[in-house]
Amino acid sequence: MKEYMISRKLNVPPVSKERMEYLINNPNTEVEENEIFNIYRGKCIVCRKPSIVVHELIPRSLLPNSWRRWINRVILCNACHHDAHAHGTIVERDFLVLCRNQRLGEYWNIWLTQ
Ligand SMILES: [Zn+2]
Ligand SMILES: [Zn+2]
């Protein structure tokens, strides 16, 4: 079942460089889960294992109207997702933001400073 979920999510067209440039210039853009998976190439932003979970850096409860914006959403494997919640999302957020920015740089040559 998990493998089906992974292949389903990866079996969509990759994000284009043009689309990525648009997203970087418009960080509040709301996107579908599939696009989040494609931005990070289907790999956990922490450990790079195939990922099946979309995680919100700032939880929905604190961003009721804007949690869908792409910059707030990353993908994690089950183990790293468990860790993120076990340690508390606020404690873990700075680390995940760092991981997110590193992957965006690595995959898209985009370097965020925030
Ligand atoms: Zn992981
Ligand atoms: Zn989560």
DSSP 18-40: HHHHHHHH-TT-B--HHHHHHHT
Residue with tokens 């959403």: 73
CA distances to 34, 58, 71 from 66, rounded to whole Å, are 18, 10, 10
Domain that holds residue 49: 2-108
Q: Is residue 66 part of a domain?
A: yes
Q: Domain tally for the chain?
A: 1
89-108 vs 78-86: helix axis angle to the nearest 10? 140
| pTM above threshold 0.85 | no
Question: Is 113 inside any structural domain?
Answer: no
pLDDT at 5: 45
Going from the Cα of 12 to the center of ligand 1, the distance in angstroms, rounded, reads 22
Shortest-distance ligand to the CA of residue 76? 1
Q: How far is the CA of 85 from the centre of ligand 2 (A)?
A: 6
Ligand 2 ion: nearby residues, β-carbon < 5 Å: 55
pLDDT tens column, 20-73: 999 999 999 999 899 999 999 999 999 999 988 999 998 888 888 888 899 999
44-57 per-position pLDDT tens digit: 999 999 988 999 99
Mean pLDDT for the chain overall: 84
The more confidently predicted of residues 2 and 87 is 87
User: Which ligand number lies closest to the CA of residue 79?
Assistant: 1
